[in-house]
Amino acid sequence: MISAGIVVEYNPFHNGHLHHLNETKKRTDADVVIAVMSGNFLQRGEPAIVSKFARTKMALQAGCDIVVELPYAFAVQQAEIFADGAVRILASLGCRYLCFGSESGDINAFLDTFHWLERQKGRFDEILKEKMRLGFSYPKAAALAYSEMEGDGALLDLSQPNNILGYQYVKAIKDRQLDIIPLTIPRIKAGYHDPEFSSDTIASATSIRKAIFSEKGDLEPLKRYMPESSFEELLRFKREYGAWQNWENYWPFLKYRIIQSSPGELREIYDMEEGIEYRVREAAFRADSFQSFMEKLKTKRYTWTRLQRLSTHILMNAKKEEMKTYCQKPEYARLLGFSKRGRQYLNRMKEELAIPLIAKASSRDGGAFELDKRAGYIYSFGFPPSVRQRVLEEEYKRPPVMAE
Amino acid sequence: MISAGIVVEYNPFHNGHLHHLNETKKRTDADVVIAVMSGNFLQRGEPAIVSKFARTKMALQAGCDIVVELPYAFAVQQAEIFADGAVRILASLGCRYLCFGSESGDINAFLDTFHWLERQKGRFDEILKEKMRLGFSYPKAAALAYSEMEGDGALLDLSQPNNILGYQYVKAIKDRQLDIIPLTIPRIKAGYHDPEFSSDTIASATSIRKAIFSEKGDLEPLKRYMPESSFEELLRFKREYGAWQNWENYWPFLKYRIIQSSPGELREIYDMEEGIEYRVREAAFRADSFQSFMEKLKTKRYTWTRLQRLSTHILMNAKKEEMKTYCQKPEYARLLGFSKRGRQYLNRMKEELAIPLIAKASSRDGGAFELDKRAGYIYSFGFPPSVRQRVLEEEYKRPPVMAE
């Protein structure tokens, strides 16, 4: 059986994701599609709007065959480490293909850029360092360095977020010499012509979340942008658990944690750098919402995303030591759900899997997985008090979701 | 000017306290009464029902002249350390008398017991150790040891909580050779005859809190047990801040903190002993209220009070290292409020005060006082989200209360 891998967050699942899933099947002719998905905290340093189990359901109902969790130590990370972890897990599960969406849509642009940058690495790093010395954040500095070097023909627009991620997937495959064929499809946006996925039915996950958390909160208009099953799951989740999650739900706990900690303790948190712990304490003391905390914290040097990731690590008590250790190499994959065909695939592959699959949180202790479990437990604190305990225990006991 | 000291918590202020205050004045003929009062977390390891500022108001309105805060490092402690800190602060402020309430009511019983136990220390410690080896908690073991030695005439019933505290006050005065005269008055209870303070108008703070948090929550019947000004302050506090505090309000934060911590981090918390950190984690994981957490945690070896204090230290992130350092010696007193006469006293005594008085939290950094500030900040998390920021900043900026 042939499998194709995809890297996803599904926050929440929408028609753009469905297009990506269908195109992956079409272009690879794979028997199964395996999604490696961030858990309850995402790459941009945010809690997921619905739990990983709900997002797994959405994925399976839309035609995914296997969903595994990207461990926290890779998920809440900058693009390079995120991509490295995701691609290596897919390789460990035997994926022949990796198919990702990008603004470019041309896989040769990625491959050529990779080789070209390999040759130019010295010069690139030099310009990058110079830009960061001037106070630019890492992604901004990298984009500037890259665009200064673009003289010999623009290969890939690396100021685009999905091109950056795609580049990192390709780089991980090449650097690790993985036996995976990378493919890319263009992301659909307004103006992209596709009979099935016109701009009328495509909206970004960001704009969908924005609509969900808007004052009006009328969800009916969202129906056109999501598969019906995902839309229903979104509603069911709120009905059953009383809340969709966003950072504000966790703000009291984040603030409490910061107020309670000494600067020395904050310095142990992953991604806490250069005396920013004092700024964090000062901002937390004065802010009465996550939004105002972030506004007080923001400087030119740090991107919003990076500060959100830092906030997640504080909320999680994720230490430098553990994060640096556990992001070296994925050592397991937690199985979140599978279809009938997914199960067949896993049965056949059993002997060849390069890492163990974990079916239940309660069945493994220690190491990097403690971080994943903790993330699941901490996620429960965003819910109304009456359902927190249920969410917490679900994380611990729940078996993988099986597609109906 | 002559001053008399008292050690109080006023949680909340009631007629028994008023009696103690009036008797102190009567028996010492002092010009001012100085109360050293636990801050927002109390000796039994609980949040105070109303803030230290509100309790200070109650005290001043009832006739207290000066209220200073007992630092956290002494307040949330077993009787011996609590008493040591309180008595030394009163001595530093120049108190000639210390007047405490006790079940005994006879100061000679305290003094004789102190001398008798000094002579018998070896034997007492031996029996105490034996009882603790059998699994009894410290106070229970001490009471048992004491009663086994009572053969030569019962001097003082040391199974009574206020006798225990009183004994520790006397012991601190003697051990530290402080120039303070100890006095005691009998606590009023049902059956005690006093025209002004009959059993009809006396109720314990515990039973008053119980009535406040009861289902019915009808406060009118409490009026008879409290001075009117205290009753009004109690109501005003709820109106203004939206809540009276109890442990359940802090439970989500305590649980979050425990879930987020490794066993190694929990071991650093003051009072965490003998592998109990695993029990704490297990209980927190399964409990959905503070009450159920405590019930899961309770064993014969640990008293309820001790486990509540441990919980407070976890909530506060109060470490072994800091607590052990800062409970050696009180190095300041935070001034919470004063009357006109109290101000006169402080002005005259200015040169003779053995420790600095702190008027505002913002005016001092570092050392033991960081713990006190943190306690004030953490106290804010028990309030409804909309007033938390106000409570937090009040702790930082508020000057002492002045009696009208």
**What was the pLDDT predicted at A117?**
86
Single residue among B322, B352, B372 that ends a domain in this structure: B322
Does residue A256 share a domain with residue A396? Answer: no
Does residue B133 share a domain with residue B42? Answer: no
A313 to chain B: closest CA residue? B260
* Residue B297: closest CA among B320, B318, B314: B314
Question: Is residue B170, in this structure, part of any structural domain at all?
Answer: no
Does residue B341 share a domain with residue B232? Answer: yes
CB contact under 8 A, B389 and A288: yes
H or E stretch covering A376: helix A368-379
Return phi, psi of residue A102, to 5°. -150, 160
- Half-sphere exposure of residue A196, counting CA atoms within 13 Å on the CB side? 10
Question: Is residue B164, in this structure, part of any structural domain at all?
Answer: no
Residues 6+ apart with CB under 8 A from A332: A71, A355, A356, A357, A358, A364, A368, A369
The reply, when asked if residue A313 is annotated as ligand binding, is no
Preferred mutation among B251, B253, B255, B256 to probe A, highest tally of A CBs within 10 A: B256
CB contact under 8 A, A381 and B288: no
Please tell me the least confidently modeled range out of A193-197, A226-230, B125-129, B163-167.
Answer: A193-197
CB contact under 8 A, B252 and A385: yes
Question: Is residue B37, in this structure, part of any structural domain at all?
Answer: yes
Q: Strand pairing partners for B47? A: B41
B367 to chain A: closest CA residue? A262
Single residue among A293, A324, A355 that ends a domain in this structure: A324
Between CA A221 and CA A213 the distance in angstroms is 13
* Residue A307: closest CA among A316, A317, A294: A294
Q: Which among A252, A259, A317 has the least Cβ separation from residue B261? A: A317
Residues 6+ apart with CB under 8 A from A187: A16, A101, A102, A103, A105, A162
Tens-digit pLDDT string for chain A (404 aa): 999 999 999 999 999 999 999 999 999 999 999 999 999 999 999 999 999 999 999 999 999 999 999 999 999 999 999 999 999 999 999 999 999 999 999 999 999 999 988 888 888 889 989 988 988 888 788 888 888 877 555 578 888 889 999 999 999 999 999 999 999 999 876 444 444 445 678 888 888 888 888 877 788 888 999 999 999 999 999 999 999 999 999 999 999 999 999 999 999 999 998 789 999 999 999 999 999 999 999 988 889 999 999 999 999 999 999 999 999 999 999 999 999 999 999 999 988 899 999 998 888 888 999 999 999 999 999 999 999 999 999 999 999 999 97
> How many domains does one find in chain A?
2
Q: Which among B317, B389, B392 has the least Cβ separation from residue A260? A: B317
Q: Which among B252, B288, B377 has the least Cβ separation from residue A259? A: B377
**What was the pLDDT predicted at B199?**
66
Residues B80-95: pLDDT tens digits?
999 999 999 999 999 9
Does residue B340 share a domain with residue B284? Answer: no
The reply, when asked if residue B7 is annotated as ligand binding, is yes
Does residue B254 share a domain with residue B238? Answer: no
Q: Which two tokens stand for residue B400?
A: 């002492």
**What was the pLDDT predicted at A152?**
58
Q: Which among B259, B381, B389 has the least Cβ separation from residue A256? A: B381
CB contact under 8 A, A288 and B388: yes
CB contact under 8 A, A378 and B261: no
Q: How far is A388 from chain B (nearest CA, A)?
A: 8
- Per the model's pLDDT, the better-predicted residue between B216 and A114 turns out to be A114
Alpha helices per DSSP H over B76-189: 79-92, 107-119, 121-133, 138-148, 161-175
SS3 A181: strand
Query: Which chain B residues touch A257 with a CB distance below 8 Å?
Result: 256-257, 260
SS3 B233: helix
* Residue A286: closest CA among A275, A297, A300: A297
Question: Is residue A154, in this structure, part of any structural domain at all?
Answer: no
CB contact under 8 A, A381 and B256: yes
Query: Which chain B residues touch A288 with a CB distance below 8 Å?
Result: 385, 388-389
Return phi, psi of residue A77, to 5°. -150, 160
CB contact under 8 A, A378 and B253: no
Single residue among B89, B124, B159 that ends a domain in this structure: B159
Amino acid at B45: G
Residues B260-279: pLDDT tens digits?
999 999 999 999 987 899 99
**What was the pLDDT predicted at A194?**
43
SS3 A225: helix
The reply, when asked if residue B11 is annotated as ligand binding, is yes
| B193 pLDDT above the threshold of 50 | no
Does residue B111 share a domain with residue B99? Answer: no
The reply, when asked if residue A20 is annotated as ligand binding, is yes
Residues 6+ apart with CB under 8 A from B161: none
**What was the pLDDT predicted at A153?**
54
Query: Which chain B residues touch A388 with a CB distance below 8 Å?
Result: 252, 288
CB contact under 8 A, B317 and A285: no
Preferred mutation among A72, A250, A251, A256 to probe B, highest tally of B CBs within 10 A: A256
Report the phi/psi class of residue A274: left, alpha or beta, with left for phi > 0 and alpha for psi in -120 to 50: left
pLDDT-derived band at B211, boundaries 50, 70, 90 = confident
Amino acid at A76: V
SS3 A379: helix
What's the CA angle centered on A240, arms A238 and A244, to 5 degrees?
Answer: 25
Neighbours of A153 (CB within 10 A): 7
Question: Is residue A28, in this structure, part of any structural domain at all?
Answer: yes
CB contact under 8 A, B378 and A257: no
- Contact by Cβ (8 Å): B345, B32: yes
Return phi, psi of residue A269, to 5°. -75, 140
> What's the CATH number where B347 sits?
3.40.50.620
Q: Which two tokens stand for residue B272?
A: 């965490």
CB contact under 8 A, B252 and A377: no
The single residue listed with the structure tokens 């017991």 is B113
Does residue B195 share a domain with residue B50? Answer: yes
Does residue B258 share a domain with residue B239? Answer: no
Between CA A223 and CA A136 the distance in angstroms is 40
* Residue B66: closest CA among B95, B44, B34: B34
Query: Which chain B residues touch A317 with a CB distance below 8 Å?
Result: 260-261, 265
| B365 pLDDT above the threshold of 80 | yes
Between CA A381 and CA A377 the distance in angstroms is 8
| B153 pLDDT above the threshold of 60 | no
- Contact by Cβ (8 Å): B157, B103: yes
Q: Which two tokens stand for residue A101?
A: 């969406």
Q: How far is B144 from chain A (nearest CA, A)?
A: 39
* Residue A330: closest CA among A115, A83, A74, A128: A74
CB contact under 8 A, A388 and B288: yes
- Contact by Cβ (8 Å): B166, B104: yes
Neighbours of A208 (CB within 10 A): 21
Query: Which chain A residues touch B317 with a CB distance below 8 Å?
Result: 260-261, 265
Between CA B189 and CA B10 the distance in angstroms is 17
Question: Is residue A123, in this structure, part of any structural domain at all?
Answer: no
- Contact by Cβ (8 Å): A36, A86: yes
- Contact by Cβ (8 Å): A86, A70: yes
Domain range for B10: 3-103+180-245+328-402
Does residue B94 share a domain with residue B186? Answer: yes
- Contact by Cβ (8 Å): A386, B288: no
Between CA B366 and CA B314 the distance in angstroms is 20
Does residue B338 share a domain with residue B252? Answer: no
Does residue A398 share a domain with residue A273? Answer: no
Helix A290-297 to helix A276-286 angle, to the nearest 10 degrees?
140
The reply, when asked if residue A193 is annotated as ligand binding, is no
Does residue B336 share a domain with residue B360? Answer: yes
Q: Which among B315, B317, B389 has the least Cβ separation from residue A261? A: B317
Query: Which chain B residues touch A253 with a CB distance below 8 Å?
Result: 252-253, 256
- Contact by Cβ (8 Å): A106, A182: no
Question: Is residue A79, in this structure, part of any structural domain at all?
Answer: yes
Kind of pairing, strands B3-8 and B32-38? parallel
Question: Is residue B221, in this structure, part of any structural domain at all?
Answer: yes
The single residue listed with the structure tokens 């901490």 is A378
